[in-house]
Structure 1
């Protein structure tokens, strides 16, 4: 299990370094990308436990309890969203603390007065930060779906 967590940390470190450098003018620092990778692997590890608990009846005996996709999404979607929100907030704090240039690039709103709107930088940041979590969630749900619908 430790190897999987370290693998996720390394993969997300590389992903964040490349994605933030490609998407923004001021790239992310190596220290910030490393901390973001570690935080991502911790959130993924925590999410694995939550998803395993919520989907235990489908995984306990392969093929005994058949599952449809809504049966798998309904107990796990809210925890996934909450984990993504916490993960995004933590990444934003790390970027604020360790990557000042990138932190200035990511603004929540742009414009003044009545012309204020959500900036595209925050949307890009959220898409980048949620992508590893969404990949892990999809892998968890797909694995459970295949496991629950095995022919016994």
Structure 2
């Protein structure tokens, strides 16, 4: 019976020590694995419509979209026509105190109740052709050596 009393505390200590050692080993392996886990950058090619912000992963899908895009003047769609009246949010032409639903987009001639393409009454809207649907931001020009503000201050 005396052997049982000394064996149980030793067994508890031994199991606890082995568990702590195994936990430390798992922690060391995890830290080593985490240090070598590097995300791999992937370059993705997308095809974007030149008339609107829509983009597609497949070139054929993008070409099909461009062929039917509402903002493409070659499609002769309502959104590029001079008779196009855009939707007005808030109903009653923007009155904030009105509870009317939004005024939907429409055709001033009443021809295209649902919006259409290849309309016989289509006329180009010169205002929409002047401003691109996608904002064109110029790339910043590379600064020439000797033209920065700091260098100008040093020269004076």
Scaled by the length of structure 1, what TM-score is found? 0.23
Higher relative contact order (CA 8 A, sep 6+): 1
Largest Rg, 1 or 2: 2
Scaled by the length of structure 2, what TM-score is found? 0.23
